[in-house]
Copies of this chain bind each other. A is one copy, B any other.
Amino acid sequence: MGGAMAARLLAAGHRLTVHTRSPEKARRLIAAGAEWAATPAAAARGAAATFIMVGHPADVEQVVFGTDGVLDGLAPGTLLIDHTTSSPELAERLAAAAVGRGAWSLDAPVSGGDRGAREGTLTVMVGGDPRARQALEVCWSAVAGRVVDCGPPGSGQRTKLVNQIAIASGMIGMCEALLFAHRAGLGLETTLTAIGGGAAGSWSLANLAPRILRGDLGPGFLVEHFIKDMRLALEECRRMSLRLPGLELAESLYRSLADRGMERLGTQALVLALAEHAGHAWPLPGERSPPDLPRSP
């Protein structure tokens, strides 16, 4: 997603210096006019705003606080923006470290996926000073359809975790609905038509259920990234002494997918974990899907 967002910034006429941990990932950006920086510190040096988009909180820590990290290149009066979905507590530490340099930091995780990144329709959830956010309007207008000020540092991350918590149990509902319909011998397309427009309706049902029916369990959004996000949310829950049984159930089901080597499938692959749990044979990718089963006895 970072690549797609950077490409949109370039296309909008911004000067861009990039560093990627796997250099080949920067090739297309460099061909499109970006400059290469050998380290995160070098990328930050001389930049008015430094954007980070990596995988895990540990990667953010490494990229910012590590040797030749962003912090070494961050000049006073500039901005540090972390687009990674990461830990709220780390966002607070980033903000404090930026202040220590006379700079500003914003946590700014996004929703909208690869497609939102390519089309510039992401939602950005921002934690940090609204004045810093306003200074970024000129950049975010190229990548985002919506930018929401969520509150002080960490609030962007917390809001993104709220988003993932709503998705987690919603995915269970969508997949269980398909499993029940399949087991009961209902026509799955007809069933989606019947239930999609009312109180059962959701983004998952409209967008991911049809992919499941086509036998397409590819990402979309990777199982392994969603597990990371749910674990961040569960960590926050522990910190706040909050128990969320739906989130716990979703994390355990997705973990069972990862344990079976399916962490590179899309999140809709949850249907396989639930089928396993339910004792129901769901057709795997490559098989005919949806199979017309005989009516259940």
Contacts and interface: CB of A to CB of B under 8 A. Distances in A.
A249 interface: yes
Interface in A181-215: 181, 183-187, 190-191, 193-195, 197-205, 207
Interface residues of A, number: 74
A135 interface: no
Instruction: Summarize A's interface: helix, strand, loop or mixed.
Output: helix
Contacts of A172: 169, 172-173, 245-246
Contact of A111 (B177, B199, B207, B249): B199
A141 B212 CA distance: 33
A155 interface: yes
Contacts of A204: 199, 202
Nearest to A193: B148
A159 B191 contact: yes
A203 B193 CA distance: 15
A112 interface: yes
Contacts of A174: 166, 170
A29 interface: no
A22 interface: no
A276 B268 CA distance: 30
A105 to B, nearest CB: 18
Interface in A134-179: 146, 148-151, 155, 158-159, 161-170, 172-174, 176-177, 179
A179 B244 contact: yes
